[in-house]
Each structure stands twice: as structure tokens, then as C-alpha cells.
Amino acid sequence: MEQLFDLALINSALRVLTPILLAALGGALCSRVGLFNVGLEGFMLLGAFAAVVGNHFFGNVFYAILFAIAIVSIFSFIFAYLSINLQANVIVVGIAMNALAAGLTTFSLRAIFDVKGAFYDNTMVGLPKWNIPIIEDIPVIGPILAGLTPLVYLSFLIAGLMWYYFYRTKNGFRFLAAGENPLAAKSVGIRVRRYQYGAVLASGVLCALAGAQLSLGQVTMFTEGMTAGRGFIALVATMLGQSGPLGVTAASLLFGFMDALSIRFQGLALPTHFTQMLPYVVTILAMFFFKDKSFQQDALKQGSSSR
């Protein structure tokens, strides 16, 4: 039992929860302005692929992340235009973006790299692993925070900044008002569409970072469908956290811990298919026991208003 639950397990959980947390925070931004963004999976997948492409051609991790942000921002703008300006069914648009991302990355993998299934280049350098000099010597905290990428720290920093923005700033209250009651917000001069576009574009940036962590932080390669449902788990984390930064972070910690635990179970000679199923079983159970009814009602309103 001691070999199963140790500090290394927490360290692994922090690494694997980062893509989920970043995407879930993006989903929380969209939900706060009344948009049920089910396209998180596709945005993450595009970000993972674009980060590898950028790293391969630019030979620089920072430029690779910027390239991923640029590509995903274009797709998030398309999502915003269809959902906000054209008033298309936001759920259908999100599903279409997921299908487009899956097909586009598969096609581009063959067109750009002339390979099928996966691309790996041993000349690529992934995200740096930080070992903070003073912190790494602390008995318990040191092993937990050892060898984490900058995006792991950034994800928690973004969660804290989002909480401060929502509940401690004037623009944050306007942001929340734009999603709670758009008509009332417009009546007092709040530009609802501007906040909606900002939320969707910021969600795209966060999903791009999530994809970069997945393809350059945990591994240094891209495989078809490598997000493996993490975008949908992030959507569930958004619902469980009721679109609040702290709640979303707590829900992401739960799913990240279960994902890390499933990886640890594989080392105990348990069937691989069983261990890989564990995070998704927890996701389904979470949907049964923790229902965010207001979030679901917003999604239904979005669907009915588009008819």
C-alpha cells in the first residue's frame, strides 16, 4: 500500500491534471458568459498537434507554444462567430469543432510529416522541467514539486487570477453579469458580445496550453487522438466546480489523481484496459452524485434558443 500511495503519486497527479485543469478553466470562462463549450476536446487536440509542428519547424519551445495559441485562437474565433453572431446551436458547433479537429490533425499528420498514427522526432526538445533550488530541499513539498513543467505552475496561477478577476474586480462582475442576465447587462451598457468573444478566445488560449502540456510536457510527440477524452473530462470538471475557479481546480485534482492512480495500477500487473477505464468511470460516477443543474439548464437554454 505504501508503494501505491506515496509522494511520487501526487507529483504524477499534478503533471497529468494540468491539461484537464487548463481546459476546464477555459470551459468555465465560456460557461460564465452563457456558452456551453463542448469543443474543448478538439481545441486541446489542435493545440497538441500545433505545438509539435511549431517545435519541429521553429526548434524552440516558446515559439511552439505561441504557434499553438495562434492556431487554436483561429478555431476558437470560428466557434465564437458561429455561436454568437450567427446564433447557431452551440452544442452542435462544439461537436462539429471536435470532429473537424480530429480529421484535420489526422490529415495534417500525413500531409506535413508523411506518417500515420504518430510523429516523433528525437531532435525536438520538450518543455523544461523545473527543480526550484530552495523548495526541492523541503522534505515533503520538494518531492511533490520536483520536475514539473512551467505550465503546471501556470495552471494554478491562472486559476487564482481567475478567482480574483471574477470576485474582486469591477470588470469581473460585469463579466459574470453578461452571462447571468444578458438583457439586464445590455440595459446598463455592458457589451455582452465583447465579453463572450473574450471568454471564447481566452478558452482557446488555455486549451492550446493544455495541448502543449500534453504533447511537449508529458511526452515529446503527437499521436492521433492523444487527448483521449480529456476535453470531455475537463467539461465535467467545469460542471462539478460550478464554473468557479476554485471548484474547477478541486474537480481537476480529483480526475488528475485518478488518472495518475490508473497509471500506477499498470505497474502492479493489472489489466491495462481496466486501469485506463478508471478515470472515465470516476467521471461517470461524478455526474451521478454531483449535478450542476444550473449549468445543465444553461446548456438547454442555449440549445432551445438556437432553434
**pLDDT of 169-179, one tens digit each?**
999 999 999 98
Which pTM was predicted?
Answer: 0.90
- Please list, in sequence order, all residues whose beta carbon lies within 8 angstroms of the beta carbon of residue 225, skipping any fewer than 6 positions away: 45, 102
Nearest partner of 49 among 200, 201, 216, judged by Cα = 216
Q: Which tens digit of pLDDT belongs to each residue from 268-288?
A: 766 767 777 777 787 787 777
pLDDT tops 80 at residue 306 = no
Q: What percent of the chain has pLDDT over 70?
A: 91
pLDDT tops 80 at residue 90 = yes
Amino acid at residue number 254: L
Question: Per the structure block, which three cell numbers stand in for 191?
Answer: 457589451
In a 13 Å sphere around the CA of 151, the CA atoms on its Cβ side amount to 29
Q: Reduced to 3 states, what is the DSSP secondary structure of residue 222?
A: strand
When the pLDDT of each residue in the chain is averaged and rounded to a whole number, the result is: 88
Q: Pick the most confident of 20-29, 120-129, 272-281.
A: 20-29
The crossing angle, in degrees rounded to 10, of helices 7-32 and 230-240 is 70
Q: What are phi and psi of 66, to 5 degrees?
A: -60, -40
Q: How far apart are alpha carbons 33 and 195 in whole angstroms?
A: 7
- The pLDDT of residue 293 is 47
